[in-house]
Structure formats: structure tokens, C-alpha cells
Amino acid sequence: MSQEKMLSGCAAAAQGAKFAEVEVICSFPIRPYTAIMMELARMVANGELDAEFIHGEGEHAQVSVALGASAAGARAYTGSSGVGVTYAFEVYSPAAGGRYPLQMAIADRTLDPPGDFGSEHTDAMSARDQGWLMGWAATPQEVFDNTLINYRVGEDPRIMLPQFVCQDGYFLSHIPDKVILPELSQVREFLPPYRAPHPLSPQCPVSHGPQIRPDQGAPMDAQRAMTFLEAPKVIKEAVNDFNRIFGRNYDPFLEKYKMEDAEIAFFIQGAHANTCKSAVNQLRKQGLKVGMVRPRWVRPWPTEQIAKALSRVKAVGCVESSTSYGGATRGGNLIHEVRTSLYDLEKRPMVTSFMAGLGGDVIMLEDFNYMAKILTQMAKDKKTHQLVYWVGFEDGE
């Protein structure tokens, strides 16, 4: 019997790892993600979960341990937050290049200066180009589900890549919501055991991560690039299987909310989407045709799906929650990808970015009202007046 529980995002992630029957876990404390490891440690201690629980001496060690475990053929799990995510940076590329499908749970935290522990997506977004699969959840249920879906996609023989499973710190990681925990048999049907193609073994000695020549580097890059061409197909299969087995209704790539007749749209990732949906409802009561698109994956970026979803709107506002200082729009990261995705449309919408939800700020309803006002004006004037708006910090706001 599946059961319903009130779980925070962290507890849901730990449950996801437990149901995925992870074999090696490597921890190091940093809030807010620490709660995941606390849960898992409890499970291992009381015999609920049979896994090696290793205390790393830092985040770099954490991902290295997970990499080694994965190389030896174990399903490995680790995680971090904020500066911990950036401290482990060196290991990200080898993990993807060596094709180790380990999973790293990230509960976002603002990067220093100094010591802001609020949620901001910059930590994980900084690592988006390292060849990992990556995506944000919006509810504890989705955290649980993404944990399983990511292992399934990452361990697929066509993919074999590590995965960042991200959730907003505190907003998601520490606020409980209803989570349906399935039967273990359902999970086993969905997620077959991990089989490493060439595990480290004394019986059949293999070299992992050898020195290669410069002319072998480009084909290695091409290997990873090819994997990302395959990934959308594999994700689609996995999510369809997931929906069938667990009775859910996920779109593989995007959550579209009231987009059928929308003229302006918010593009937003993570848990802020929940507030955004309330804002959409309120704004619709005022007669505004507004909708919301939330990507479930950042890597692979769902280019075609986004182009299709936003092809009929007049103005799009990317609600950023991450910084790209000095970037093309002086704003966040999402707009670079969204604008690129829309560039080849015959009638492309105007796109601007809203800097909001930074440093742990809550994006309030009135912030969405303010953004909607700007988007409406853009649609009316048929002009992008500004490439970026710092919500709450603009002149005359």
C-alpha cells in the first residue's frame, strides 16, 4: 500500500534515496540540505536502509567518494548547498566525463559573501555546463519523484550521466507538504538495479580516468554532447513510465499553467512557481490573460518544448532567482536560454528578466503584480523597454 505523509523537501529527497535503494551515501554538513543526510543517517542507523554511510571531509571529497562508489558499481548519493556546491566543482566534469550516474541533491543556498543562508539558484546554476543532468522541483512530491526519475534517466545505458536534483532551500527543503510514498515493488518496476558497464574490480582490472592525449579530448566532449541529444527521448520514456506506474501526470519537460490563451507569461523555475500560480489566478480575475511555464529540466534544456509553449504569447518575463553578473542582460541565467530558444520563431515574443527571489527573498504576490504590469506594457508597446528589472530596486517602484 502506498501511503501519504507530510514531508519537507529534504525528507522527501531522503525517502527518494531510500526507495531508490542507494548503496553508498556520502555526507558533509551544510544547511539547508543537511536535513537530507540527517534523515538518511537515521534510516541507516535503525536498519531501514542498507547503505554505506560515509562522512566526507568536505564537499570535494563527497562527490569524489560518490564517484568512486559509482565507478565500483554502486548506486551513489550525495548532496550539498551553496558554497558546498561550488567547493565540489572540480569533480563535476570528471563525474560526467567518466560517465558515473551518481546523484547529488542540492537544496539551494545563496553563495557568500558572507554567510547568507537563504535560497538562491546561483549555486547549482553555476555548475550547469559540466555535463550533468539538472532540474528543479516545485513540491516535496516532485523532489521525491525527481530523485527516482533522475536515477532512471542517468543510469540508462544510452545516457550514463550524473544528476543534480535541485530544490529551493527552505521554501521547499523545510516546508512540509503531502507526499505519496509508493510501494517498493512499484519503484523496482520503474528503476532497475544499476549496472556499471566496467566497474572497478580486482578480477578484471580497468583504468578509470586515465591520462588522454589532447586529440582525444574533443571526441570525449563529443561523446557527452551526443548523450544530451539522446537525453530528451530517454526522459520522455522515463516520465511516461513513471506516470503509468505511479499514476501521476507529469509533462516530461515543462509545467504549463493556464497557457492556452495566455498573452503574457512568467517563466519561472523551482518552488516560487507555487506563488506564481496564485498570482496568475488573481491576475486572471482582474482580466489579464497571463500564464506560467516552469521548466522541469535545465539540462538538457527543453528548447523545442519552450519554443512551442511560448510561441503564442506576446511578452515573457523570466523570473530569475540566480545571478549572471555582467551577462548579456545584466540579469540572470534563464533569459539567455529562453531568448535563444525563441529566436527562430516567426513571431517571437518579447522577453525580459526579473531579478527576484535572490538571497532568500520571498517573491510576493505584489511582486508578480508589478512584473505583470511591466509585461502588459511591453505587450502593448511591442517593445522591450529594459532587458532586466531588479524587482523591489527599480526607480519609482
Partner 1 sequence: MKTRKQKIQKAKGKGEKARNLRTEPKNLKMRTGGPKATTKISGGGRKERVRASGDLFGTIHVPKDRAVPFGAITPAPVKQQELFITSNWRIVRPVIDHEKCTRCFTCYIVCPDSCWSFNEKEEKMEWNWRFCKGCQICINECPADALSAVPELDFEDGVVRLEKPF
Of 223 and 278, CB closest to partner 1: 223
With CB under 8 A as the rule, give the number of residues binding partner 1: 39
Of 215 and 260, CB closest to partner 1: 215
Task: Confirm if 100 and 199 have CB atoms less than 8 A apart.
Answer: no
Of 71 and 283, CB closest to partner 1: 71
Of 205 and 396, CB closest to partner 1: 205
Using CB under 8 A, which of the segments 48-56, 138-146, 261-269, 349-357 binds partner 1? 48-56
As measured in angstroms, the least distance from the Cβ of 264 to partner 1 is 26
Of 185 and 286, CB closest to partner 1: 185
Confirm or reject binding of residue 220 to partner 1 (CB under 8 A): yes
Distance from C-alpha of 92 to C-alpha of 73, rounded to nearest angstrom:
18
Number of residues assigned to the chain: 397
Site residues for partner 1, 13-32, by CB under 8 A, read: 21
Confirm or reject binding of residue 160 to partner 1 (CB under 8 A): yes
Q: How far is CA 343 from the centre of its chain?
A: 24
Of 76 and 388, CB closest to partner 1: 76
Among 4, 29, 112, 226, binds partner 1 (CB under 8 A): 226
As measured in angstroms, the least distance from the Cβ of 223 to partner 1 is 6
As measured in angstroms, the least distance from the Cβ of 215 to partner 1 is 7
Confirm or reject binding of residue 284 to partner 1 (CB under 8 A): no
Confirm or reject binding of residue 182 to partner 1 (CB under 8 A): no
Closest to 2 measured CA to CA, from 244, 184, 189, 183 = 183
Confirm or reject binding of residue 232 to partner 1 (CB under 8 A): yes
Confirm or reject binding of residue 340 to partner 1 (CB under 8 A): no
Distance from C-alpha of 68 to C-alpha of 102, rounded to nearest angstrom:
10
Of 187 and 356, CB closest to partner 1: 187
Confirm or reject binding of residue 48 to partner 1 (CB under 8 A): yes
As measured in angstroms, the least distance from the Cβ of 52 to partner 1 is 9
Site residues for partner 1, 92-111, by CB under 8 A, read: 97-100
Confirm or reject binding of residue 227 to partner 1 (CB under 8 A): yes
Confirm or reject binding of residue 1 to partner 1 (CB under 8 A): no
Confirm or reject binding of residue 222 to partner 1 (CB under 8 A): yes
Task: Confirm if 121 and 80 have CB atoms less than 8 A apart.
Answer: no
> Residue 178, Cβ neighbours under 10 Å: how many?
11
Sign of torsion over alpha carbons 64, 216, 302, 191: negative
C-alpha triplet 373, 254, 78: angle, nearest 5°:
115
Task: Confirm if 14 and 8 have CB atoms less than 8 A apart.
Answer: no
DSSP secondary structure letters along 234-289 = HHHHHHHHHHHHHT----SSEEEES-TT-SEEEEE-STHHHHHHHHHHHHHHTT--
Task: Confirm if 384 and 339 have CB atoms less than 8 A apart.
Answer: no
What is the per-residue burial (b if ≥16 Cβ within 10 Å, else e) of 238-264?
Answer: bbeebeebbeeebebbbbbbbbeebbb
Confirm or reject binding of residue 202 to partner 1 (CB under 8 A): yes
Confirm or reject binding of residue 225 to partner 1 (CB under 8 A): yes
Pairing of the two strands 315-319 and 350-355: parallel
Distance from C-alpha of 112 to C-alpha of 109, rounded to nearest angstrom:
9
Among 3, 185, 203, 249, binds partner 1 (CB under 8 A): 203
Distance from C-alpha of 354 to C-alpha of 212, rounded to nearest angstrom:
44
Among 2, 178, 193, 198, binds partner 1 (CB under 8 A): 198
Confirm or reject binding of residue 6 to partner 1 (CB under 8 A): no
Pairing of the two strands 24-27 and 52-55: parallel
As measured in angstroms, the least distance from the Cβ of 75 to partner 1 is 14
Q: Which helix (H) or strand (E) holds 37?
A: helix 34-45
Distance from C-alpha of 291 to C-alpha of 315, rounded to nearest angstrom:
11
Of 211 and 249, CB closest to partner 1: 211
Cα 7 to Cα 68, 126, 166: the distances in Å are 31, 28, 16
Among 29, 192, 209, 247, binds partner 1 (CB under 8 A): 209
Among 243, 303, 369, 386, binds partner 1 (CB under 8 A): 303
Binding site for partner 1 (CB under 8 A): 21, 47-50, 97-100, 160, 184, 197-198, 202-203, 205-213, 215-216, 218-220, 222-223, 225-227, 229-230, 232, 303-304
